[in-house]
Amino acid sequence: MKKIVPIITTERLYLRECTPKDAQYAYELNLDERVIQYTGDPPFSSIEEAQLFLTQYDDFKRHRMGRWYVFLRNNHEFLGWCGLKYTPEKNEVDLGYRFLFKHWNKGYASEAAKACLHYGFNVLQIEEIIARADQRNIGSYRVMEKVGMTYLKDIDFLGHQGFVYYATKETWNK
């Protein structure tokens, strides 16, 4: 059995690859309407559907990055996910995050996002990372600002006004 090791650790958190055994986490995270209200993602219909999704999720193998699952270091409690996603069609790397509602406003998203930017720029040697959010999702774009990303432009985000932020390896405030 392959041991799952953390990809990133911070003062309070560790981030690791998700596996099909994490289906319960994925199911519960997307079950909360507050968590997915601005994402365009529907909830999983069952734990089995979440497991199938995770079985097919191969971003780690293809691109050495993905949406890593985030846990508290002190008690291994699941918080959500945060990570980098490469989109070949756009040739861009996107920072994303999603946390259980009970863990909002505790600084976990900012801590994980900053660690992912550091990993992207310093380990993967990515030159630019972007992030997108629906303008109604104030918490999401506040995280982008807290971690040192800069507003780039307005976009259509699933039929609503949205924002794109970015950071570059050269200018990001480590």
Q: Is residue 155 part of a domain?
A: yes
Entry pTM: 0.93
Residue 60, Cβ neighbours under 10 Å: how many?
A: 16
Q: What does the block give as tokens for 97?
A: 């995050």
Q: Is residue 119 part of a domain?
A: yes
Q: Is residue 29 part of a domain?
A: yes
Residue numbers of the domain that contains 156:
8-168
Q: Is residue 2 part of a domain?
A: no
User: What's the structural domain count of the chain?
Assistant: 1
Q: Is residue 1 part of a domain?
A: no
pLDDT at 11 over 90: yes
pLDDT tens figures, 61-100: 889 899 999 999 999 999 999 999 999 999 999 999 999 9
Q: Is residue 120 part of a domain?
A: yes
Q: Is residue 111 part of a domain?
A: yes
Q: Quick one: residue 110, left, alpha or beta (phi over 0 = left, psi -120 to 50 = alpha)?
A: alpha
CATH code, 31: 3.40.630.30
What is the model's pLDDT at position 2? Answer: 55
